[in-house]
Amino acid sequence: MSGTHSDEPSVLQHHFDNLGQQFEASALGMWVFLVTEVLFFGGLFTAYMVYRMTYPEAFAEASHQLNIVLGGTNTAVLIGSSLTMAMAVYAAQQGDRHKQVLFLVLTMVLGMVFLGVKSVEYSHKFAEGLVPGPNFRFEGDAIHAQLFFSLYFVMTGLHALHMIVGIGIMAVLTVFAWRGRYTSRYHTPVDVSGLYWHFVDIVWIFLFPLLYLIDRHGAVR
């Protein structure tokens, strides 16, 4: 298996027959992990579903405290980062090292913009006394509004944690891509990390309408 390109170490690991099989195995492994992630977040979505059905008015009232402009901006930012991630994979497939690094860096920058906006939102919630606990202040059904905000912080917090992990992965990929480790023949890590990044985007695609947009037609804000 070795020795044909003496300047290039073989990227094919010994337990695979060929690069195609190696790639399929890696991608499938990532998908299996993502399925566990679906069920991980699924538990939280289930809790959300039960409590929203039980206390619909309190959830709508509490949802109106969230900022649609910031939430919507972050949705756009995250969709944009998915596009740049897809472009990074595209560049890797073409063996274009510079574009690959460029789009990985752009993806990280957009991820950080998302986290920045998120931290602004969190600090507003702290200032407004909307963090569940002894200092929770809410005009209306405060007890059940706390349930909403508990779910809000856990779900968006867990999502933000995934973003932070994703940015870490992108940073490592960028270094390796810069060193020319990925070629048009072998770029599996970029593909597989892209799957993870897009998955985190999908979680937010559900979080945005479910947390920010409950009964907005009745909102007098």
Partner 1 sequence: MVNDVTHADVEYGGTERPKHLVPLRVYFAVFAALMTLTALTVFAAMQDLGPFNTVVALVIACTKAVLVVLYFMHVRYSTKLTWAVIAGGVFWLLLLLLMTLSDYITRGPGWLHFG
Binding residues for partner 1 (CB under 8 A): 1, 4-5, 10, 12, 17-21, 23-24, 27-28, 31-32, 34-35, 38-39, 42-43, 45-46, 49-50, 53-57, 60, 68, 72, 75-76, 79-80, 82-83, 85-87, 90, 93-94, 185, 191, 194-195, 198-199, 201-202, 205-206, 208-210, 213-218
Shortest distance (Å) from residue 54 CB to partner 1: 6
Q: With respect to partner 1, which residue has the nearer C-beta, 101 or 144?
A: 144
User: How far is 155 from 203, CA to CA, in rounded Å?
Assistant: 9
Nearer to partner 1, 30 or 131 (CB): 30
Please state the closest distance from residue 47 (CB atom) to partner 1, in A. 9
Nearer to partner 1, 62 or 131 (CB): 62
Tracing tokens 């999502």 back to the chain, one arrives at 159
Measured from the CB atom, the residue of 43 and 133 that comes closer to partner 1 is 43
Read off the tokens for 107.
């993806």
CB of 3 to partner 1, least distance (A): 8
CB atoms within 10 A of CB 170: 27
When the beta carbons of 131 and 145 are compared against partner 1, the nearer one is 145
Q: How far is the CB of 70 from partner 1 (least distance, A)?
A: 12
Name which of 81 and 146 has its Cβ closer to partner 1. Answer: 81
Query: What is the C-alpha to C-alpha distance for residues 93 and 189, in angstroms, rounded to an integer?
Result: 11
Q: How far is the CB of 129 from partner 1 (least distance, A)?
A: 25
CB of 160 to partner 1, least distance (A): 19
